[in-house]
C-alpha cells in the first residue's frame, strides 16, 4: 500500500535537524514526499525554525528563544554550538525555507508544526497574529495547498481554520487513549499525527471514513515500517527518509 514518506525535521541522517541544507536534500530526493519542520518565534517576532524553545547559553543557563532577538540567537548559536559531523546552519527563518522551496520548483509537502505555550501573555505573538503571519507567507509563496499546519495545541488548529479554511490543518497526539472521534470533533482536520506505537488498524479505518489521514511519528526501524504498512497507514514521518524509501521500493517490487 502506498504511504507518504516525510523527513522528520528534514534529513536527520546526514544533516543537522531543521536546517535549510537538510530540507534541500529532501526536496531533491526522489521517492520522498516532503518534510516536517518546527516553528517558534523570537523576541522581535521573527518566525524561525527550531524544535526546542529553550537553548543553553555559553554559561550553561537556559534561555527561551522568545526572550531573544533573532540576531542574539544567531550570536549565541555561533558561540555555544559546534557543527560537528553534520552539515547545516541552525535557525533559518520560515521565509528562507519557503524561498528555498520556490527556487527548487518542488511540489512536495511541508508539515508546519507550530510550537506554543500554555499562556499567550509571555509569547511575542498572539495565536491569531502568529497564524496570520504564517498564512501571509503561505500566500506570498503560493504554498497554501502544499503545506499543512500541525500542532499539539488545539488553539492553533482552530485559529488557522477560522482565518482560512483553505489551509489544511492537523493535530499531533502522543500517547492517547481517548476515542479519536471525540478528539477530532469540530476541529476540521485533514490529518492526525500520532506516535507510531499507539496507532491501531481500527483508528486508521475510522479516520479514513472521516477523510482524515493518520501519519505515524517517528518510526525508524524496519519492523515498525512493516507493522504500520500492514495497518494501512497513510504516512510516516521518519528520521531515516532515504532508508525508508529504499525499504518501500523493495517491498513493492
How confident is the prediction along the chain (253 residues), in pLDDT tens digits per residue?
589 999 999 999 999 999 999 999 999 999 999 999 999 999 999 999 999 999 887 766 889 999 999 999 999 887 666 556 678 899 999 999 999 999 998 899 999 999 999 988 889 999 999 999 999 999 999 999 999 999 999 999 999 999 999 999 999 999 888 899 999 999 999 999 999 999 999 999 999 999 999 999 999 999 999 999 999 999 999 999 999 999 999 888 7
Continuous segment of H or E residues that includes residue 26: helix 20-27
Q: Which three cell numbers stand for residue 108?
A: 512536495
Q: Which of 111, 98, 95, 105 is nearest to 28 (CA)?
A: 105
Q: Could you give the 3-state DSSP secondary structure of residue 170?
A: strand
Please count the structural domains in the chain.
Answer: 1
Largest Cα–Cα separation, the chain? 54
* C-alpha pair distances (Å), 83 with each of 49, 77, 103, 143: 17, 10, 26, 31
Contacts (Cβ under 8 Å, ≥6 apart) of 103: none
Cell of 85: 559531523
Residue range of the domain that includes 217 = 4-251
Query: All 3 cell numbers of residue 134?
Result: 504564517
Residue with cell 482565518: 163
C-alpha to C-alpha distance for 107 and 109, rounded to whole angstroms:
7
What global pTM score does this model have? Answer: 0.96
The residue count of the chain comes to 253
- From CA 129, how far away is CA 211, in angstroms rounded? 29
Q: What residue spans of 147-233 are helical by DSSP H? A: 154-163, 180-184, 201-209, 222-231
CATH number, domain of 20, equals 3.20.20.190
Amino acid at each position: 500500500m502506498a504511504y507518504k514518506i516525510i523527513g522528520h525535521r528534514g534529513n536527520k541522517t546526514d544533516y543537522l535537524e531543521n536546517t535549510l541544507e537538510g530540507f534541500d536534500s529532501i526536496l531533491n530526493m526522489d521517492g520522498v514526499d516532503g518534510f516536517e519542520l518546527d516553528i517558534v518565534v523570537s523576541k522581535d517576532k521573527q518566525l524561525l525554525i527550531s524544535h526546542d524553545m529553550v537553548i543553553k547559553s555559553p554559561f550553561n543557563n537556559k534561555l527561551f528563544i522568545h526572550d531573544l532577538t533573532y540576531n542574539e540567537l544567531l550570536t549565541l548559536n555561533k558561540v555555544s554550538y559546534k557543527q560537528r559531523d553534520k552539515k547545516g546552519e541552525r535557525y533559518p527563518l520560515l521565509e528562507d525555507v519557503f524561498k528555498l522551496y520556490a527556487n527548487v520548483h518542488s511540489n512536495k509537502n511541508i508539515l508546519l508544526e507550530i510550537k506554543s505555550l500554555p499562556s499567550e501573555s509571555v509569547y511575542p505573538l498572539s495565536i491569531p497574529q502568529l497564524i496570520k503571519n504564517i498564512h501571509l507567507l503561505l500566500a506570498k509563496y503560493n504554498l497554501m495547498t502544499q503545506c499543512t499546519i500541525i500542532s499539539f495545541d488545539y488553539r492553533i488548529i482552530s485559529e488557522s481554520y477560522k482565518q482560512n479554511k483553505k489551509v489544511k490543518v492537523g493535530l499531533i497526539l502522543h500517547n492517547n487513549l481517548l476515542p479519536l472521534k471525540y478528539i477530532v470533533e469540530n476541529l476540521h482536520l485533514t490529518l492526525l499525527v500520532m506516535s507510531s506505537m499507539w496507532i491501531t488498524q481500527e483508528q486508521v479505518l475510522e479516520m479514513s471514513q472521516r477523510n482524515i489521514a493518520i501519519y505515524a511519528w517517528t518510526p525508524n526501524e524496519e519492523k515498525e515500517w512493516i507493522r504500520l504498512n500492514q495497518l494501512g497507514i497513510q504516512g510516516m514521518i521518519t528520521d531515516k527518509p532515504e532508508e525508508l524509501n529504499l525499504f518501500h521500493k523493495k517491498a513493492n517490487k
